[in-house]
């Protein structure tokens, strides 16, 4: 009879471990859902933060009064030019020599933006 009781105790103990394991799995599922929600929120906030940095940069450029109200695409061209690459049609993508300037590139970056706007005809 001792053997029967010990088998029953083993079965009861196994059933209890199974319940605890299921509770742990359920807790892990809840935790995983919470982590996913936090990661999604973090991604959204990172994107919004980047957007706000861009807006702030635009505001600073406007307040600086430097007279160069460049569109974002022209700002990108200006960055490429400052990094030492041609942005003009003639030599686009080629490396500028040290301390070299290119009138064509400067024209591409700083030309009057009114030329770029479509007419109402």
Query: Span 43-69, mean pLDDT?
Result: 80
Residue 26 tokens read as 């359920």
Number of independent structural domains in the chain: 2
Domain identity same for 34 and 93: no
Query: Span 64-87, mean pLDDT?
Result: 79
Final residue belonging to a domain, choices 47, 66, 85:
66
Decide if pLDDT at 46 tops 90. yes
Q: What's the domain range around 35?
A: 1-66
pLDDT of residue 31: 97
Query: Span 9-25, mean pLDDT?
Result: 95
Does 120 reside within a domain? no
> Tokens 């990108």 identify what position?
76
**Structure pTM?**
0.44
pLDDT band, residue 114 (cuts 50/70/90): very low
> Tokens 């319940």 identify what position?
19
pLDDT of residue 1: 46
Query: Span 57-66, mean pLDDT?
Result: 70
d(CA 35, CA 91): 50
């Amino acid at each position: 009879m001792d053997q029967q009781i010990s088998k029953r105790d083993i079965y009861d103990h196994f059933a209890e471990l199974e319940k605890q394991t299921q509770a742990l799995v359920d807790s892990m599922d809840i935790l995983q859902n919470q982590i996913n929600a936090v990661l999604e929120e973090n991604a959204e906030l990172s994107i919004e933060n980047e957007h706000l940095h861009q807006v702030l940069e635009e505001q600073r450029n406007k307040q600086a009064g430097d007279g160069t109200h460049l569109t974002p695409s022209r700002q990108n061209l200006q960055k490429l030019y400052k990094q030492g690459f041609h942005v003009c049609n003639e030599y686009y993508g080629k490396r500028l020599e040290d301390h070299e300037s290119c009138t064509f590139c400067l024209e591409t970056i700083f030309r009057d933006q009114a030329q770029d706007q479509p007419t109402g005809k």
